[in-house]
Amino acid sequence: MENANSAPPTSTLPIEVAYATPSQQVIIPLAISEGATLEQAIIQSRIQEQFPEIEPATAKVGIFGKLSKLSATVRAGDRIEIYRPLIADPKAVRKQRAAEGKRMRKGGGDVETEGG
């Protein structure tokens, strides 16, 4: 028989918090209270103890590769990903790669053989 005055049990959701540097990847499994936000999950994971450069209040985050807001509510099974700031402008990198590809194609071609 349940006590009418008791609060309903708080449900927890299994999630993961992920962060990667060029040399290391960390995925922290976590059980978080239902209704928690991405920011709360990041703080609860204590990931910033391993990576002090992470600022939970301003971090760019996503769920399974899709950018999300820190205020979004987590769901069971979510993998919260914390993104590092970009070092290079992606447009400039693509432009540079395209230019290099064009030069390579122009310089390539048939190889001459002797006596051919």
The single-letter code of the amino acid at 51 is F
CA–CA separation, 24 and 1 (whole Å): 51
Does a structural domain hold residue 112?
no
Enter the pTM of the model: 0.66
Give a yes or no: residue 111 inside a domain.
no
Please check whether residue 27 is in contact with residue 50, taking contact to mean a CB–CB distance below 8 angstroms. no
Q: What is the pLDDT of residues 38-81, one digit of tens each?
A: 999 999 999 999 999 888 888 899 999 999 999 999 999 999 99
Does residue 61 lie in a domain region? yes
Cα–Cα dist 26/63, whole Å: 15
CATH number at residue 36: 3.10.20.90
Q: What is the largest CA-CA distance in the chain?
A: 98
Q: What is the mean pLDDT of the chain?
A: 81
Number of structural domains found in the chain: 1
Beta bridge partners of residue 62, listed in sequence order: 67, 81
Which domain, by its residues, includes 86?
12-103
* Tokens 């709360």, residue located: 40
pLDDT at 2: 47
